[in-house]
Amino acid sequence: MNYNEDYQYDSCVSRGICSVNPRTSALQEILIIYLKTTAYYALKLHEAGIINADSGSIILNTISIMVSNPEFSESDFERLTKKFNEILPDIIEQYENLCRERNIEPEFIETPFKDYKKIDIVQSIRLGEKEFLNETKSAPQEIRDLYKILFVIAKSICINLLDLETYGKNEKEGYLAILKILDSLNSKERDSDRIKTLVLDVSKKDNELMTLLRRTQEERYGRQRVNEVSYSTTPGKAVLVAGSNIKELEDILEAFNDIDIDVYTHDEMMLANTFPKFAEYKNLKGQFGQGMEECLLDFATFPGPIILTKHSLFNVEHLYRGRLYTTDSACSKGVIPIKNKDFAEVKEAALQSKGFKTGKQCESVNIGYNFEDFISELKQKLAEKEYSNIFIIGQAGYTLDQQAYFHKLLKQTPDDVLIISLAYNLTKDNIININGCYDSFAVIRTAEVVKEITGLPVTIFFPQCDRYTISQMTYLSRFENFNIFVGKCTPLMLNPNLINTLNKVFGINGLSSVKKDLDKILGE
């Protein structure tokens, strides 16, 4: 079977939005060299109790751009490398002074740069390609994959750290975890067990950050609840907000509160509707479109400006230009930056746009859940009947094949298996339905409660992949008596080689057929 044939209806793959071009990949290699070099000296200073604020800022900023904007511009690259070139000499000098004070021999790290301040874009691309080839030749596939997994987790930690910063929370331990991940890339030691241990440690830290982020959001916006979200549109001027940074949605709603412009959410931002605070904003009308996989159609048909919040930039080469704005620190070509929460230009663009002339009535959906109610239902189910296993099914996969797989799984799973489904609803006595729409944290939250309440074998299915999936799967793999299965993902997120390594090192399985997977979990 062709790995990508499952994505024939996915514009994300078919139009190349989920891909990274070779030029950008080469420039990313150069940024990784800067990151791991800076991390090496920053970690040396950190171990001595010295925190270099400049290194923390550039590291988080660079990873954020590499996460959210796979087609970052040459000007973004030059801006980042210029900053690295400014702070690296200072960090190295700090380290040398420290060694001199403590009368110890400094340990410097080699880099492929002969004179890094004089490298231009063309030279950077050539050097990046060379470094990629060298790494391919010098390290076994499994080691390379483990380092890729580490870097993906670093991205997840970075997103959580930056999101926490928007609420005024600075988590130093999370930053230290990123330093350790980046510094591990400097190691000449190719020990998969050592890397595996680091993966498990940092995925645990990432889960702690995600837990803190959700707790912070609930303290600010109220406990999550079930809420009806409209997919209808109403006549009037409008702006669309895409991404996952809920704090930025709050800022936008506050900025638009005194003007007759409606606000719609897109993709993951829909999750904001599960927090009571957002019901207070009368200009928040509901959800628009089918999500990031159909963003070409959604963005092209929305009759107003579109704001891409932090970490939601991606390859927008094919998207409708001139109406895209972002609060991120880097902009793709054709995307207009928003700085210091100044939405004046967006407001003007919304007022000048055609807006919705007549509006359209669509069926509303209920999303969200009350976690305490879920725990009560879970305990009641376990008290009423003896079960042999528990299945947890995460957020829905978008492709037709994956939807068919999970609908079949729900029907064919034996009645003595209790199923907790966060997306695919079916009414059966052995199924607990939770509407975990766009809630990446719901799987972890559910799994940890199940682990506390019962000692039954647990199988967790990840139907789709997002930027947190690898971190969550590796974190859950540490739990005894847990099986983990993951569906097919876009190659940018999870390619077949990574699936093989995840299976070999962490026991994480790729989906095959319902019969084969049930036989594997429950026994022939």
Closest residue by Cα to residue 244 from 377, 74, 439, 425: 439
Q: Is the whole-model pTM more than 0.85?
A: yes
Residue 403: pLDDT band (50, 70, 90) is confident
Count of Cβ atoms closer than 10 Å to residue 361 Cβ: 10
Give 118 or 315, the one with higher predicted confidence: 118
Residue 481 lies in a domain: yes
> Which amino acid is located at 132 in the chain?
F
When pLDDT is averaged across residues 433-445 and rounded to a whole number, the result is: 87
A 10 A CB-CB count for 104 gives 9
DSSP labels, 403-449? HHHHHHHHHHS-TTEEEEESS-----TTEEE-B-TT-THHHHHHHHH
Q: Are residues 503 and 483 in the same domain?
A: yes
Number of domains in the chain: 3
Whether residue 2 is contained in a domain is answered as no
Q: Are residues 72 and 57 in the same domain?
A: yes
311 and 383, same structural domain? Answer: no
Give the model's pLDDT for residue 15. 44
Dist. CA 309–CA 68, nearest whole Å:
10
End position of a domain, from candidates 315, 331, 365: 365
Q: Is residue 3 part of a domain?
A: no
Q: Are residues 276 and 166 in the same domain?
A: no
Q: For 314, left (φ over 0), alpha (ψ -120 to 50), or beta?
A: beta
Residues 343 and 194 in one domain: no
Asked whether residue 231 carries a pLDDT value surpassing 60, the answer given is yes
328 or 362, which is more confident: 362
Tokens representing residue 506 in the block: 């962490």
Q: Pick from 116-120, 195-199, 401-405, 486-490 the range whose average pLDDT is largest.
A: 195-199
Which range has the worst mean pLDDT, 35-49, 64-78, 365-379?
64-78
Q: What pLDDT shows up at residue 7?
A: 41
Q: Check whether 14 has a pLDDT greater than 50.
A: no
- For 9-15, what is the mean pLDDT? 45
List the structure tokens of 410: 């729900």
Per-residue pLDDT at 313 exceeds 50: yes
Query: Higher model confidence: residue 425 or residue 193?
Result: 193
Given pLDDT bands bounded at 50, 70 and 90, which one contains residue 383? very high
Backbone angles phi, psi at 226, to 5 degrees: -75, 135
Per-residue tokens: 302: 């929305």
- Return the pLDDT at 116: 60
pLDDT higher than 90, residue 35: yes
Q: What would the mean pLDDT of 470-498 be, rounded to a whole number? A: 87
Band of pLDDT at residue 72, cut at 50, 70 and 90? low
Residue 130 shares a structural domain with residue 54: yes
Q: Is the pLDDT of residue 260 over 60?
A: yes
Taking only the tens place, the pLDDT of each residue in 92-144 is 999 999 999 999 999 998 887 766 666 777 888 888 888 888 877 778 889 98
pLDDT at 495 over 60: yes
* Chain mean pLDDT for the chain: 86
Residues 442, 440: Cα–Cα separation, whole Å? 6
Which residue reads 């950077």 in tokens?
124
Co-location of 14 and 156 in the same domain: yes
pLDDT at 511 over 80: yes
CB–CB of 51/352 below 8 Å?
no
pLDDT > 70: percent of the chain: 89
Q: Is 181 found in the same domain as 39?
A: yes
Domain boundary among 193, 219, 245: 219
pLDDT (0 to 100) of residue 10 = 46
Secondary structure in 3-state letters for 318-386: CCCCCCEEECCCCCCCCCEECCCCCCHHHHHHHHHCCCECCCECCCCEEEECCHHHHHHHHHHHHHHCC
Q: Is 6's pLDDT higher than 50?
A: no
Q: End-to-end alpha-carbon separation of the chain, Å?
A: 24
Q: Is residue 5 domain-resident?
A: no
Average pLDDT over residues 151-157: 90
Amino acid, single-letter form, for residue 418 = L
Q: What percent of the chain has pLDDT over 90?
A: 55
Q: Per the domain annotation, does 471 fall within a domain?
A: yes
Q: Does 277 lie in the same domain as 156?
A: no
Residue 502 maps to a domain: yes
**Residue of higher predicted confidence among 321 and 344:** 344
Q: Enumerate the β-bridge partners of residue 286.
A: 264
Q: Are residues 411 and 511 in the same domain?
A: yes
Domain that holds residue 468: 369-522
**Rounded to whole angstroms, how far apart are CA atoms 306 and 12?**
18
One domain for residues 381 and 288: no
Q: How far apart are CA 463 and CA 472, in angstroms?
A: 13
pLDDT band at 488 (very low <50, low <70, confident <90, very high): confident
For 455, counting Cβ atoms within 10 Å of its Cβ (0-12 exposed, 13-18 middle, 19+ buried), the class is exposed
- Which has the closest alpha carbon to 291: 10, 4, 494? 10
Confidence of residue 25 (pLDDT cuts 50, 70, 90): confident
Residue 70 has pLDDT above 60, yes or no: no
pLDDT by residue (tens digit) across 196-214?
Answer: 999 999 999 999 999 999 9
Q: Considering the domain boundaries, does residue 378 fall inside one?
A: yes
Report whether pLDDT(2) > 50: no
Residue 186 lies in a domain: yes
Q: Which of 219, 246, 280 is the last residue of a domain?
A: 219
Of 11 and 494, the structure prediction assigns the larger pLDDT to: 494
- Give the pLDDT confidence score for residue 398 in this predicted structure: 61
- Residue 467 scores a pLDDT above 90: no
* CATH code of the domain containing 281: 3.40.50.2030
Q: Label residue 436 exposed, middle or buried (CB < 10 Å: 0-12, 13-18, 19+).
A: buried
Within this chain, do residues 377 and 473 fall inside the same structural domain, yes or no? yes
